[in-house]
Structure 1
């Protein structure tokens, strides 16, 4: 345990905190399955994962601006995670510059290849969870591909693609813990979540609605999701709540922890972009259609490479639903 903890701390300290390549987290919850909105969906927002534009391969003003960048700046600028194992991370065992790799990173390369003709025409920017939306709104990135849940609150600030992955909130705790999942066993426990994540909003809403014991301490928030694993290893918190997809990867990094109980929300990851970048949203949706159809180097191939070891060989539970495009403008 001490060795694993030390390794996690070292990795966390070694990871760059600025650009060069990313962070993530993700709904409401009773022990049943709930929609992954940080709060109850407002009446005017239903099925947030369907509130996107229909696919198109056409260029528009946003894409033209990206294509018109000159020299070394002619790249797609993408906010990503760099410390989520198998999603967006720097492999310390790789040779050379320890380039970013993972499921989200594969998707970024596919988008860059389609728009700029070069899968490596990407400038990665590492952004903490609570900076994902500001980074888009302030124009620091063209998009965020960083295990980002589509929900109603976020749709007020950014536009999303159709879903590219299905997951749900789960509890991560030491194997020796008496915590059993999202239930009364979390009473009097210190729970870690990432700032700006839907995990925190889920717990906050859960306490308001009585689904989570009022005595559970949900104040232990951190900038990056990996920091929760470190705090769990150090004994500073009793449990972590995050997306099951991310929690499974963290359990693979530390054999002393495990997922507790089933997922208690249903959530979908999407690519986030500026609200007025309609042409880019449509283009990404077209890329996702083609990516899912590609049997040799597309979605399934990326899943098999990065996620099958932690989520299982069968990908059905992680596959997003057939996309619906209900947003008209």
Structure 2
């Protein structure tokens, strides 16, 4: 693919999303209050998902990331206040409001070949399954495109009923939102140009610039590993973006050397651009879950009951329809484990 064609293709996928960070300088005479100690409350909360210190917090409350996907409520058909409020919506507003992605190929993306560029993908199919169960209509959904960095905030602020957006279940997020049992298994991988000398998540990343999505599990992992010496100290992980797809754009423009993200997403991005490929094996194990408000117990239980049926009747077909082309026909590596319902209330 030549440069002009590549850049033309980029414009079709949303362009480069950039982030700017402004730090106001304190007055010169205020020498004892450096600006690095004056971080406002909102950025501190946004940083919680990507600072190494959160690992200590996770141990303090007994949560371990490798077991976080087990901290959910047992399935139930019972209605409750959250479900009742959704059903009480009238007219055109009687819909399930769901935060999704619209740029992740095969997961949640707009298909320009359909009328109105309809949203399609593996996550979108799951959303429709949930809407059909709760409202009796798989089309009764109001989709809201949510950036990677705003997923938990959208739930906490009540802008959506749930988020279904390739969202990894981990301890940091469990302190802010509730999750369903896992519906997909994946792991972090490296994406880089085919001609790159990068071989995977190893010393070949030394002196390389790596892009991740802000507040993502990928960025948290890189920051922790670099601090602990498991990643070369010279690896530049300063490039973060609101939406993960923007990392692919940065890579195509030559602004970064590699991308680290979930292998399931990286495979879809490699399908979009044949000049890049996955490098090395997955170096983490992660599980996607449906995220909901922390106190929406009835909705969490209902979604878990829906997932019991979905895993038995529907999951494999959805995988075949949407992901087999990018992840391969054998879905065994992507199937979530048997659910554990270890959250008491």
Task: Tell me the number of residue pairs that the alignment of Structure 1 and Structure 2 aligns.
Answer: 306
Match of 2:37 in 1: none
Matched, 1:324 2:344: no
Report if the CA contact (8 A) 1:175-1:258 is conserved: yes
- 3-state DSSP of counterpart to 2:77: coil
Report if the CA contact (8 A) 1:42-1:152 is conserved: no
Matched, 1:59 2:79: yes
How do residues 98-177 of structure 1 correspond to structure 2 at under 5 angstroms? 98-177=117-196
How do residues 242-321 of structure 1 correspond to structure 2 at under 5 angstroms? 242-294=261-313, 298-321=314-337
Distance 2:97 2:110 in 1: 18
Shift of 1:38: 7.4
1:266-317 CA distance string (max 9 Å, x none): 00000000000000000000000000111xxx11000000000111101000
Shift of 1:70: 0.8
Structure 2 CA distance for partners of 1:243 and 1:38, relative to 1, 3 Å: farther
- 3-state DSSP of counterpart to 1:258: strand
Shift of 1:10: 2.8
Larger radius of gyration: 2
Distance 1:13 1:181 in 2: 27
Distance 1:270 1:101 in 2: 18
Per the normalisation by structure 1, the TM-score is 0.90
Shift of 1:121: 0.3
Shift of 1:236: 0.3
How do residues 16-27 of structure 1 correspond to structure 2 at under 5 angstroms? none
Distance 1:107 1:272 in 2: 13
Report if the CA contact (8 A) 2:16-2:250 is conserved: no
How do residues 192-211 of structure 1 correspond to structure 2 at under 5 angstroms? 192-211=211-230
Shift of 1:96: 1.4
Structure 2 CA distance for partners of 1:268 and 1:38, relative to 1, 3 Å: farther
- 3-state DSSP of counterpart to 1:12: coil
Distance 1:266 1:39 in 2: 16
Match of 1:73 in 2: 93
Match of 1:21 in 2: none
Query: Which runs of 5 or more structure 1 residues have no equivalent in the other structure?
Result: 16-26, 29-36
Match of 1:42 in 2: 59
- 3-state DSSP of counterpart to 1:235: coil
Query: Which runs of 5 or more structure 2 residues have no equivalent in the other structure?
Result: 18-48
Which has the higher relative contact order, 1 or 2, with Cα contacts under 8 A spaced 6 or more apart?
1
Compute the RMSD of aligned alpha carbons.
Answer: 1.8
Distance 2:117 2:69 in 1: 34
Report if the CA contact (8 A) 1:192-1:237 is conserved: yes
Distance 1:261 1:134 in 2: 33
Match of 1:4 in 2: 6
Per the normalisation by structure 2, the TM-score is 0.86
Distance 2:316 2:161 in 1: 25
Match of 1:18 in 2: none
- 3-state DSSP of counterpart to 2:14: helix
- 3-state DSSP of counterpart to 2:319: helix
1:78-133 CA distance string (max 9 Å, x none): 000000000000012x1310110000000000000000000000000001011000
Shift of 1:196: 1.5
- 3-state DSSP of counterpart to 1:42: helix
Report if the CA contact (8 A) 1:80-1:126 is conserved: yes
Shift of 1:58: 1.0
Shift of 1:13: 4.3
Report if the CA contact (8 A) 1:248-1:311 is conserved: yes
Report if the CA contact (8 A) 2:15-2:249 is conserved: no
